[in-house]
């Protein structure tokens, strides 16, 4: 057995990928497609065997179980998207801009790796015990980053909204994309990210206060008195 048998991909150290690593990555890629199309439970090891061109028994040289295979796919996908996000967020910026970076990073990766992200979103609950908790930790970290970004925005502009609902609504908008996005019909990731960012950012910028009916100028004047906040919402 070559290199580190449990690694799904070349590590962060500059170790060149061995034959084992490359084959592993190949299998992971094919398995991702199969899981995406048929679902984790619906996909059989024989389906994976067919898709990879490797014998049924041969697969078990790389994975000790079907469950661990799903785990490796999900972990690699999630780790990658978090790593990319952190890199992009290193350059400081306006809170609004940072949230737009978050959305863009998510959607870009989502649409470039649609199968993997669908497997991540759609099979989020099937992993139990050890696998489940390790993945939940990454998920929580990603969630916390988004919460942090929104809280920045909140404090810097004196906004008032439920961070929890906002974050989860945003994830909903973004993750649901795997059910409808069609590259032949829908715009590129950057445009989609901008449109979703427009909707979301304007929404939270106005917080939980009731949205006023048209031509109701009276109470609007009263509420919008304090300074230069909420510019995100005005055209």
Partner DNA sequence: ACTTAAATCGAACGTTCGTTCGAACTTTTG
Partner DNA sequence: CAAAAGTTCGAACGAACGTTCGATTTAAGT
Nearer to DNA by Cβ, of 46 and 155: the residue is 46
**Shortest distance, position 3 Cβ to DNA, whole Å:** 8
Neighbours of 29 (CB within 10 A): 15
Whether 120 contacts 106, CB under 8 Å? no
Q: What is the CA radius of gyration of the chain?
A: 22
Give whole-number Cα distances, 8 to 17, 62, 89, 136, 181, in Å. Answer: 11, 10, 26, 18, 28
Chain positions contacting DNA, by CB under 7 A:
1-2, 18-20, 23, 43-47, 53-58, 60-62, 64-67
**Shortest distance, position 43 Cβ to DNA, whole Å:** 6
**Shortest distance, position 34 Cβ to its own copies, whole Å:** 13
Binder of residue 70, out of its own copies, DNA, none (CB less than 5 to 8 A by kind) = none
Nearer to its own copies by Cβ, of 90 and 125: the residue is 125
Nearer to DNA by Cβ, of 23 and 84: the residue is 23
Give whole-number Cα distances, 149 to 28, 155, 158, 165, 205, in Å. Answer: 32, 10, 14, 14, 13
Chain positions contacting its own copies, by CB under 8 A:
39, 41-42, 94, 96, 122, 124, 126, 157, 161-162, 164-166, 168-169, 171-177, 179-180, 186, 192, 194-217, 220, 223-224, 228-235
**Shortest distance, position 113 Cβ to DNA, whole Å:** 23
Burial of 209 (0-12, 13-18, 19+ CB in 10 A): exposed
């Amino acid at each position: 057995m070559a290199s580190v048998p449990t690694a799904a991909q070349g590590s962060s150290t500059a170790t060149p990928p061995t034959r084992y690593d490359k084959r592993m990555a190949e299998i992971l890629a094919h398995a991702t497609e199969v899981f995406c199309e048929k679902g984790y439970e619906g996909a059989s090891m024989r389906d994976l065997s067919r898709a990879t061109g490797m014998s049924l028994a041969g697969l078990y040289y790389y994975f000790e179980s079907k469950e661990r295979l799903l785990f490796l796919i999900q972990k690699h996908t999630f780790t990658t998207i978090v790593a990319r996000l952190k890199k992009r967020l290193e350059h400081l910026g306006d809170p609004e801009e940072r949230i737009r970076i978050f959305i863009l990073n998510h959607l870009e990766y989502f649409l470039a790796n649609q199968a993997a992200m669908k497997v991540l979103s759609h099979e989020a609950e099937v992993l139990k015990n050890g696998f489940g908790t390790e993945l939940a930790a990454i998920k929580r970290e990603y969630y916390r980053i988004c919460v942090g970004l929104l809280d920045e925005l909140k404090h810097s502009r004196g906004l008032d909204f439920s961070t929890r609902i906002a974050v989860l609504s945003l994830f909903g908008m973004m993750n649901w994309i795997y059910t409808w996005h069609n590259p032949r019909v829908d715009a590129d990731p950057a445009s989609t990210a901008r449109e979703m960012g427009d909707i979301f950012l304007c929404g939270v910028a106005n917080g939980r206060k009731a949205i006023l009916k048209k031509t109701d100028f009276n109470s609007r004047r009263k509420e919008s008195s304090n300074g230069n906040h909420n510019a995100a919402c005005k055209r």
